[in-house]
Homo-oligomer: A and B are copies of this chain.
Amino acid sequence: MSDFFSETVKRLTPYIPGEQPKDGVYIKLNTNESPYPPSPNAISALKNADFEKLRLYPDPECVSLRNTYANYLGVSSENVFVGNGSDEVLATAFQTFFAGKNNVLMPNISYSFYPVYCNLYNVRATEIPLKDWRVVCDDYCVANNGVIIANPNAPTGVGVSCAEIENLLKNNPQSVVLIDEAYVDFGGQSAVGLVKDFDNVLVIRTLSKSYGLAGLRVGFAVGGKKLIEGMNTVKNSFNSYPVDFLAQLAAEEAIKDVDYLNQTTSKIIATRERTALRLKNLGFNVLDSSANFLFIIHKEIDAGFLFNYLKQNKILVRWFSDPKIKNGLRISIGTDFDMEKFCDIIANALEAFR
């Protein structure tokens, strides 16, 4: 039976996403979703959609959506690629720029999907250790066939400055540098402004986090025209119509509603800072986050114990099996109510452990 499979399948170890419980009794702080619904304008576009149009294929080139996003970012629509969530966009970028190459640099602690893409597309990565939980951009200014970093990084939440990214690009003119900005709207510094000056940078974005649209599946890449053309060649050899009619419609309205984005991200940032303070007071090492989550470590108490204690109390957080981060937990930022409840229960956990 195994001969039915290609060699590709035989080398794969799939990504494992955070649990999506179906019963709704949990406070879900495990997949970095927004605690707030999407923009009311996006919802109203969906409610008033001409559903009979679903009989037709969607625009394969997402022209209107790309124009809207380009306009929001201050780039040209030729600089924008759209996909079925930023995971698909990342996969397409790995296939377009890195497939079959060796010495592609990435942090040794980062989004755990990157090594999975490496297996899928036969990429040999060189992992660069974090220093004091930080990505040090200078460490990536060495010979390489590509670079990917997440800014802010996951699951640490720690960001790097735009000046550091600029220096990284200057020192890597020969290779493509992917900057995964899934969490940038929560206080990170974006590299989008560098796209006009550097032909080797590709910035990956998503509506799943800051826009409260994880269920819609829309992600973007923003980069030089030639890089985007390469991405389109791969996309059009894979699936002509990756973004459905309703997703294109709602995404546009969400992007136009900049006020709502600012309101919800500001609330999440304020909640994050309050939560971080309380966790520090409880004795946790709380990494300095520019994302919608916190990475926390307790010197004395096993992360697995805390994870299970929280789960028994109907709170889901993320605990990774990677030994490098096995002593920490990633906590998505929910509403103030969610986070007070979370802090109360984790305080109880500390008591229970002692």
Residues of A within 8 A of B (CB): 1, 3-9, 12-17, 20, 22, 28, 31, 33-38, 42-43, 46-47, 49, 51-60, 63, 84-85, 87-88, 91, 95-101, 116-117, 119-121, 174-176, 199-200, 208, 212-217, 226-227, 230, 232-247, 250
In the complex, besides A37-B52, A43-B52, 7 extra interface pairs with C-beta distance below 8 angstroms are A6-B100, A8-B96, A9-B234, A17-B241, A33-B55, A37-B51, A120-B238
Give complex CA distance A95, B122 in Å: 13
- Shortest C-beta distance, A172 to chain B (Å), equals 11
Give the top 6 A-B pairs by smallest Cβ distance, nearest first.
Answer: A14-B236, A215-B245, A6-B99, A37-B52, A54-B215, A55-B212
Q: Are A95 and B244 in contact (CB under 8 A)?
A: no
- Shortest C-beta distance, A207 to chain B (Å), equals 10
| Chain B residues with CB under 8 A of A121 | 6, 8
A sample of 25 inter-chain contacts (CB < 8 A) reads A4-B200, A6-B98, A6-B101, A6-B121, A8-B99, A8-B234, A9-B99, A14-B235, A20-B57, A37-B55, A38-B51, A42-B51, A43-B52, A46-B49, A47-B51, A54-B214, A55-B213, A84-B217, A84-B239, A85-B242, A88-B242, A116-B237, A120-B234, A120-B237, A215-B246
Q: Are B216 and A54 in contact (CB under 8 A)?
A: yes
Q: Are B95 and A8 in contact (CB under 8 A)?
A: yes
Q: Are A57 and B233 in contact (CB under 8 A)?
A: no
Set B20, B56, B216, B233: member contacting A246, Cβ < 8 A: B216
| Chain B residues with CB under 8 A of A57 | 17, 20, 31, 33, 208, 214-215
| Chain B residues with CB under 8 A of A233 | 9, 12, 14
| Chain B residues with CB under 8 A of A241 | 17, 85, 87, 214, 217
| Chain B residues with CB under 8 A of A176 | 4
Chain B residue with Cβ nearest A212 = B55
- Shortest C-beta distance, A45 to chain B (Å), equals 10
Set B4, B22, B214, B240: member contacting A97, Cβ < 8 A: B4
| Chain B residues with CB under 8 A of A52 | 37-38, 43
Set B4, B5, B88, B235: member contacting A239, Cβ < 8 A: B88
Give complex CA distance A73, B119 in Å: 34
- Shortest C-beta distance, A43 to chain B (Å), equals 4
| Chain B residues with CB under 8 A of A232 | 14
Q: Are A58 and B237 in contact (CB under 8 A)?
A: no
- Shortest C-beta distance, A25 to chain B (Å), equals 14
Give complex CA distance A217, B233 in Å: 20
- Shortest C-beta distance, A268 to chain B (Å), equals 12
Chain B residue with Cβ nearest A31 = B57
| Chain B residues with CB under 8 A of A239 | 84-85, 87-88, 91
Chain B residue with Cβ nearest A244 = B217
Set B34, B227, B230, B244: member contacting A247, Cβ < 8 A: B244
Q: Are A55 and B215 in contact (CB under 8 A)?
A: yes
Chain B residue with Cβ nearest A18 = B57
